[in-house]
């Protein structure tokens, strides 16, 4: 029982201190010259990026940012490239 309490306290202590990600407003340029603006948020355990209008995005194939949506409780990349297509209805 003593070991269980120590383990729980150790886990609670070590996860309560996390390094924050600096919140950046970045300009990202694709190879074709298209520029997009993104914001980063989070800490060392959870970090995510958004467009300036609040859509969650993720870096994907071809070093391009893609809009994301949630399906079955998981974040999934769509086929819509940020800066090339409007977010519109992402669930389609």
Does some domain include residue 71? yes
Please compute the mean of the pLDDT values over residues 32-59 and round it to a whole number: 89
Does some domain include residue 12? no
State the residue range of the domain holding 52. 19-81
* Pair 26, 37: CB distance under 8 Å: yes
Does some domain include residue 63? yes
Whole-model pTM over 0.85: no
Structural domains counted in the chain: 1
| CA pair distance 54, 73, nearest whole angstrom | 19
- What pLDDT shows up at residue 90? 61
| CA pair distance 53, 90, nearest whole angstrom | 15
Does some domain include residue 28? yes
Does some domain include residue 68? yes
pLDDT in tens, 12-25: 665 556 666 667 78
Does some domain include residue 8? no
């Amino acid at each position: 029982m003593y070991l269980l309490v120590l383990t729980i306290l150790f886990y609670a202590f070590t996860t309560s201190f996390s390094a924050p990600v600096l919140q950046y407003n970045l300009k990202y340029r694709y190879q074709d010259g298209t520029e997009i603006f993104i914001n980063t948020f989070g800490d060392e355990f959870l970090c995510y990026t958004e467009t300036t209008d609040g859509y969650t995005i993720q870096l994907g194939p071809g070093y391009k940012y893609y809009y994301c949506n949630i399906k079955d409780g998981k974040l999934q990349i769509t086929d819509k490239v940020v800066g090339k297509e409007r977010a519109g209805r992402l669930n389609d």
